[in-house]
Amino acid sequence: MYLLDANVFMEASRLYYSFELAPGFWRWLADPSMLGRVASIPAVRDEITAGKGDLVSWARTLPSSFWLPDSAGVATALVELANWATAPERAYRQEAIDLFLGSADYQLIAHAMASGATVVTREQRAPGAKRVIKIPDACDSHGLASTDPFTTFRALGLRLT
């Protein structure tokens, strides 16, 4: 399964798959055949539905099963991930830790840890960073796969014809 970060939806809608130019992309992503292959979490839904526009309207039409609920495994993973982020050897600044622990990214990675899913994000690795905790770096540290949207879309067989 692929778990999508908020930036996957937001950048697609703003930049390369706008609703008026590529409605087929959004139909494909919401197709019932994609359930179980692609998902996200309520915290990401909350990020993308905070505003207004086509993306907000589209996200509100997705079935609740697209937004994976928390589980006992996710709760355990949240603790493990928080311990990792705050470990002194990481040397992240307190602002970076606070931002991360209050983010949808933190929850998304915990869901991936609990399920073994691949995290899909536009974020790039920054292993030496101290001011921000990047999704790919946290995934790497926990043996999780992370990838970019276009690699994911190819793997899932997206064809815009």
Q: Is residue 161 part of a domain?
A: no
* 108-138 pLDDT per residue, tens: 999 999 999 999 999 999 989 999 999 999 9
Handedness of CA 152, 141, 132, 47 (dihedral sign): positive
* Residues 121 and 140 placed together within one structural domain of the fold: yes
Q: Strand pairing partners for 38?
A: 2, 35
Distance of CA 122 to the CA centre of its chain: 9
The pLDDT, as a whole number, for residue 161 is 80
Domain that holds residue 18: 2-68+149-155
15 part of a folded domain? yes
pLDDT tens digits, residue range 79-108?
999 999 999 998 999 999 999 999 999 999
Counting Cα atoms < 13 Å in the Cβ hemisphere of 115 gives: 23
Stated pTM of the model: 0.95
Q: How many CB atoms lie within 10 A of CB 117?
A: 20
Same domain, 143 and 77: yes
Whether 18 maps to a domain, the answer reads yes
